[in-house]
Every structure is written in structure tokens, then in C-alpha cells.
Amino acid sequence: MPATPLEVENLSAGYGPTRVLEGISFSVPAGARLAVLGRNGMGKTTLLATLAGQTRHYEGRIRIGETDVTALPSASRALSGLGFVPQARCVFPTLTVEENLFVGLKGRPKSALQEAYDMFPRLHERRRNLGSQLSGGEQQMLSTARSILGRPSVLLLDEPLEGLAPVICEELMKVFAELARTGDMTILLVEQRIQSALDFADHVIVLERGRIAWTGTPEKLSQDHTAVERLLGVGSLH
């Protein structure tokens, strides 16, 4: 399905009785790229998990295109066009690479697997290996490709570069940039590698204690040294 806009209005959510997010509102146009930044523990992963339907919702609305998904379970949100690549990767360890990819087809023909192998040739080389036999970088490729095979209109990426070698990070970001260039997916990226996120995104929000503390373009954030130091804990982005 083609890219769709994502709208979040006054969203509050958390785990059990604990509120992590308070009054979050933002919108992402169809085909746009949003980076979600912030120090550790400020609610970035919880935001993506909430959009995916994996936390306790207290207030607010989430819309994917014309569909209000606020009350829908995770599986229904996926059917509505939401793809989620979690930080934990969630590869099935006892299935082969190819069997893992089958899970992501969502009714598409087996021939569509070639799209994954074109994105990540290494997966084709390892297609008969079990998920447990893959390196961290290969697992991230597999988790990403599996989600993309379902052709989501909105793709959530939670720290996809965490713990990976620079060459793997470069390969992944190249795929994300290519997806973004097609305009077929609206992409939200949570990432601790700040410069990689800014190079990728066309808009940025920065979270602090579960609230949006800053919003603007990557260029504007790069020039706002006070915000960078206070909200991200780094002295400079250059």
C-alpha cells in the first residue's frame, strides 16, 4: 500500500499504572521521515511501542491515514499498514532466514522474497541458516526485511543501528534512504547515532521525560547548540 500520513494527538501511555508519555502530539506527512531523539530513558522506545499497540493507552488518538487505530490491537494495526522493527529484533531462532521472511509476506507470493534478497544480498547467502546462527547485523537485516516485505505504509524503526559495526550501519542506512526516496513509506526512526538520524530525516522531535521538548528540521537542531547539549547530552553534532 502507498505511504500514508501518521497523526498523533495528545497521546499519553505507559506500562501498568506508570505513565511514560504525556501529551504527545505530532504529525508526519505521507512519505516523510521523522527522527525521534532524546537521552536514554526519555520515552523514545515507549513511543514506538505505543504506536504499535504494545503499551497501556491512557489518552489521545493515533491515526494512520484515515484509520483511527487507537483502540486496535497490534495485529490489526499491522493490517492497517503499520510495520515495526523493534530494538530486540525478534528473529525466530529456530527458523531459517527464508522461513523468517515467509512470516513477513502477509499473503504475497513467494517470489516477493527476492525483494528482501535484493535489499540485503547477505540474507540470500544465509537463507538456509537458522536465525540463531546469524550475527547481530544479519539479524537486524532479517528483522528489517521481514517487516518491509509486508509493504507497510508507515514503518517504525527502533534503534536499528544499536551495537552494529560501522559497515553494517552504513548498509542499513543506505536501504532506509532508498525506501524513503521511493516515497512508498512514512518512516519514524529512533536512533542514538544522532548524526545518522539527522542525515536521514526531514523533521525531528526530541523527547524529554516523556514529552516533546523540541521540534524542527535537522538543520535547525544542528544550529541550536543549547538544545543539543541540554536535551541530547552532546556538545556538538559536528
**Kind of pairing, strands 67-68 and 211-216?**
unpaired
Q: Is 144 exposed, middle or buried (0-12, 13-18, 19+ CB in 10 A)?
A: buried
Q: What residue segments make up the domains of the chain, in order of their start?
A: 6-232
Q: At what angle do helices 136-149 and 166-182 cross, to 10 degrees?
A: 10
In tens, the pLDDT along 80-96 reads: 999 999 888 789 999 99
Q: Which of 21, 25, 48 is nearest to 36 (CA)?
A: 48
Which three three-digit cell numbers place residue 2?
A: 502507498
- What is the predicted pLDDT for the residue at 88? 82
3-class SS at 114? helix
What's the rounded Cα separation, in Å, for the pair 38 and 224? Answer: 14
Residue pair 64/79 in contact (Cβ under 8 Å)? The answer is no
Q: Which of 138, 137, 145 is nearest to 117 (CA)?
A: 145
- Tens of pLDDT along the chain (238 residues) come to 678 999 999 999 999 999 999 999 999 999 999 999 999 999 999 999 999 999 999 999 999 999 999 999 999 999 899 999 988 878 999 999 999 999 999 889 999 999 999 999 999 999 999 999 999 999 999 999 999 999 999 999 999 999 888 998 998 999 999 888 888 899 999 999 999 999 999 999 999 999 999 999 999 999 999 999 999 987 556 5
**φ and ψ of 68, to 5 deg:** -85, 110
Which three three-digit cell numbers place residue 147?
A: 517487516
CATH class entry, domain 6-232: alpha beta
**Centroid of chain to Cα 105:** 19
Range 165-185 burial, b when 16+ CB lie within 10 A, else e? eeebbebbbebbeebbeeebb
- What is the predicted pLDDT for the residue at 236? 55
Question: Rounded to two decimals, what is the model's pTM?
Answer: 0.91
Quick one: CA dihedral 139, 140, 144, 147, positive or negative?
positive
What's the rounded Cα separation, in Å, for the pair 150 and 156? Answer: 13
**Centroid of chain to Cα 196:** 14
Stated as kind and residue range, the H or E segment containing 97 is: helix 97-104
